[in-house]
Amino acid sequence: MGSDQTNQTPYYITTPIYYVNDRPHIGHCYTTLIADVAARAQRLVGRDVFFLTGTDEHAEKVSKTALEHDKTPMEWATINAERFKDAFAFMNFSNDDFVRTTEDRHTTKATQYIQQLLDQGDIELGDYEGWYDPSQEEYLTEMVAKESNYNSPVTGKPLEKRVEQNYFFRLDKYQSWLEDQFADDTITILPGARKNEVLGRLKQGLMKVPVSRQIKEGDPDWGIKMPCDDSHRIYVWIEALCNYLTTVDNDQRTKYWEGEVTHLMAKDILWFHAIIWPAMLHAMGKQPPKTVYAHAYWIAEGTKMSKSLGNFIEIDLLAAYADKYSLDAVRWFLTTQGPLGANDADFAHARFVEVYNADLANSIGNSMSRVGNMVAKYFEGTVPATCNGEFGFPDGSSLQTALKALESVGKPADDPNRTFHFQEFITKATTDYHDALERMDLESMLDSARSIVRFVDEFISYSAPFTLAKQLDTLDDAPHALRSILYSCAEALRIASLLLYPAMPQKMTELWNAWNCEHLTDQSNPNSAFVAPLSELAQWNSTHSIKQGQSITKGDPLFMRADANEPAPVAEPTA
């Protein structure tokens, strides 16, 4: 594995921009978290990454709610955009930018795109005819109208058939082009079940989509006007989608759009991202995204989250969990247990504690503790030697010595012929890691990191360095064997920690500080850049490896074991 294998295509990953009227909740945090983990992993393997999130602010309701709060729409949007920024800073997301759709850089470009589509005839004036619900001030689809017998589903009053003049995007022109993109995965829709949904709907045929709204008497001045026509605003959805391009549509950043683009989102807004947006891009002569990934939802303790139940898991509750179990534990749980597939996932406290103890306290944290502790105990905290990580016949003698030690105390190994090949195992783990990252399968990505930890635990049990340590004076070669064994454990864990970093940047940086590993350009800042790509960092017994004489402090346990009987954290009531 050399740096020449690193994918040099710039990597651009986006989350949806979030509706500012919502309070940041687990859904926003989850989508942005998986983007963060993917972005950090891609940076780790050496790619040039741009990670974007932001807020969608031009919705009608924003201006309405602003009024209710005695604020201008812009003031209100700013207050709420700040809440998202705070929440994301709290989650330690490494987004390279945060776009607000009210910013000039967005509105200017978005207007240009619409103008271009108008000039080309991809956007044209037409009549929109539909069932209007005057009480809700919205149009209903034919299906919904029919189901409710052409009465308002809310008030029961009759719907009105209304015709409105609107600008339409000629989505219908791009049906066959879209079909081609999906047929050979030029645009990859993930997971597969979602792709089927999109294909199924696509088969029913595409219509023109309205991309403007008429400005009504007394409407607040909010949103972007149609460039050609002051009496229309650009429909907020259409404008919002443009953020992915507007933010990087400049000389410095255009390489990201021309690189590999991944859009992440929840399943409810897949259609816009898989169909409308790629078609718009194609019409503009721009490359479509490579991957459109729609994850499912979190549910809370087995129950769907809804406004009426008021059981949304908001940022405050995540903060309470972070306070008790550490932020990285929250990131780990959400990333590995989340609804990346087509099925919803449950945020259940009992499950959280189970995963926390199994993966973090007992596995990762404990393994790092026991190795650190043995180095402290047997070698006064200084790594005494290096080793090639080969154990067992015919390449190494250290394991044989360890087995002799076990034999001499009457505890011979069941299978005395086992071999352990650290470098080979780690190469396989990092290869799997890369492959999983390419598929956005973050759970198996992190599991391949954890497989190294399991390997180390297994090796410790088998080789029993603690037994060997008691015979340093009586058994020939025992000191050398013990040094080799502990070096290999520490070095393997160092590499595992690199692979775990994207999910748990703070905790892994904590370990590197305790072990004096200089992987980051600024050891005091978990978010600083790596000094080298993974292919170099993860080399066994090489430039960035643990060295002979390197001091390792035991440090505090990274994840203290949790008591399942303690009550679940509760969100602090906040303003």
Partner RNA sequence: GGCCCCGUAGCUCAGCGGUUAGAGCGCGCGACUCAUAAUCGUUUGGUCCCCGGUUCGAAUCCGGGCGGGGCUACCA
Question: Which residue carries 């016949």 as its tokens?
Answer: 393
AA identity, residue 194: R
* Residue 301 touches RNA, criterion: CB under 7 A: no
Burial call 154-173: b when 16+ CB within 10 Å, e when fewer? eeeeebeeeeeebbbbbbee
Residues 414 to 473 in contact with RNA, rule: CB under 7 A = 454, 457-458, 460-462, 464, 466-467, 470
Strands (E), 227-279: 229-234, 260-266
Residue 322 CB, nearest approach to RNA (Å): 17
Q: Kindly state the smallest distance separating residue 51's Cβ from RNA, in Å.
A: 20
Which residues 195-214 are close enough to bind RNA by CB under 7 A?
196-197, 200-201, 203-207, 209-210
Q: Is 174 in the site for RNA (CB under 7 A)?
A: no
Identified binder of RNA from the candidate list 65, 103, 130, 324, rule CB under 7 A: 130
For residue 277, what are the contacts with CB-CB under 8 A and spacing of at least 6? 241, 244, 263, 288, 289
Q: Tell which one of 143, 217, 252, 417 touches RNA (CB under 7 A).
A: 143
* Residue in 361, 429, 445, 517 binding RNA, rule: CB under 7 A: 361
- Residue 149 interacts with RNA (CB under 7 A)? no
Piece of the chain touching RNA by CB under 7 A; list 71-79, 107-115, 396-404, 556-564: 556-564
Cα dihedral value 497, 500, 502, 503, nearest 10 = -130
226 makes contact with RNA (CB under 7 A) = no
Interface with RNA by CB under 7 A: which range of 150-158, 182-190, 358-366, 395-403? 358-366
User: Using the rule CB under 7 A, which residue among 90, 112, 125, 271 binds RNA?
Assistant: 271
Cβ distance to RNA smaller for residue 411 or 439: 411
Which of the ranges 44-52, 81-89, 112-120, 141-149 carries the binding residues for RNA, by CB under 7 A?
Answer: 141-149
Q: In what order do the strands lie in the sheet with 212-214?
A: 212-214, 229-234, 225-226
Rule CB under 7 A: is residue 169 a binding residue for RNA? no
Q: Which of 29, 39, 240, 482 binds RNA (CB under 7 A)?
A: 240
* Phi and psi at residue 444, to the nearest 5°: -75, -25
> Is residue 358 part of the contact set for RNA (CB under 7 A)?
yes
Please report, as a single letter, which amino acid is at residue 132. Y
558 binds RNA, rule: CB under 7 A: yes
Which one of the spans 81-89, 345-353, 385-393, 495-503 is the region binding RNA (CB under 7 A)?
Answer: 345-353
Position 370 contacts RNA (CB under 7 A): yes
Q: Helix, strand or coil for residue 448?
A: helix
* Angle CA 194–197–203, to nearest 5: 145
Q: Could you give the CA distance from residue 525 to residue 514 in angstroms, rounded to a whole number?
A: 14
Is residue 399 a contact point for RNA (CB under 7 A)?
Answer: no
User: Is residue 391 classed as helix, strand or coil in its secondary structure?
Assistant: strand
> Which residue type sits at 210?
P
- Please give the backbone phi and psi of residue 136, each rounded to the nearest 5 degrees, phi first: -100, -5
Q: By CB under 7 A, is residue 574 in contact with RNA?
A: no
Q: Restricting to residues 65-124, which ones interact with RNA according to CB under 7 A?
A: none
* Contact pick of 39, 59, 87, 318 for RNA (by CB under 7 A): 59
As a whole number of angstroms, the distance between CA 318 and CA 333 comes to 11
Show contacts with RNA in window 487-526 (CB under 7 A): none
Q: What SS3 state is found at 245?
A: helix
Of 139, 352, 422, 515, the one binding RNA (CB under 7 A) is: 139
Cβ(223)–Cβ(233) under 8 Å?
A: yes
Rounded CA separation 398/377 (Å): 19
Q: Is 171 in the site for RNA (CB under 7 A)?
A: yes
State in angstroms the smallest separation of the CB of 200 from RNA.
3
- Shortest Å distance, C-beta 130 to RNA: 5
Cα of 74 vs its chain's centroid, Å:
30
Residue 480 binding RNA, by CB under 7 A: no
Applying CB under 7 A, among 237, 404, 475, 536 the residue interacting with RNA is 237
Enclosing H/E stretch for 99: strand 97-100
Phi, psi for 262 (deg, rounded to 5): -125, 120
Reported as type and span, the H/E element at residue 160 is strand 160-169
In the set 345, 399, 429, 468, which binds RNA (CB under 7 A)?
345
> Which CB atom, from 194 or from 544, has the smaller least distance to RNA?
194
Taking the complex as a whole, the smallest distance from the CB of residue 532 to RNA amounts, in Å, to 27
- 319 scored as a contact of RNA (CB under 7 A): no
Among 7, 48, 60, 151, binds RNA (CB under 7 A): 60
- Rounded Cα gap, residues 176 and 84, in angstroms: 39
- CA 154 to CA 297: how far, in whole Å? 26
Q: Around Cβ 202, how many Cβ atoms within 10 Å? A: 16
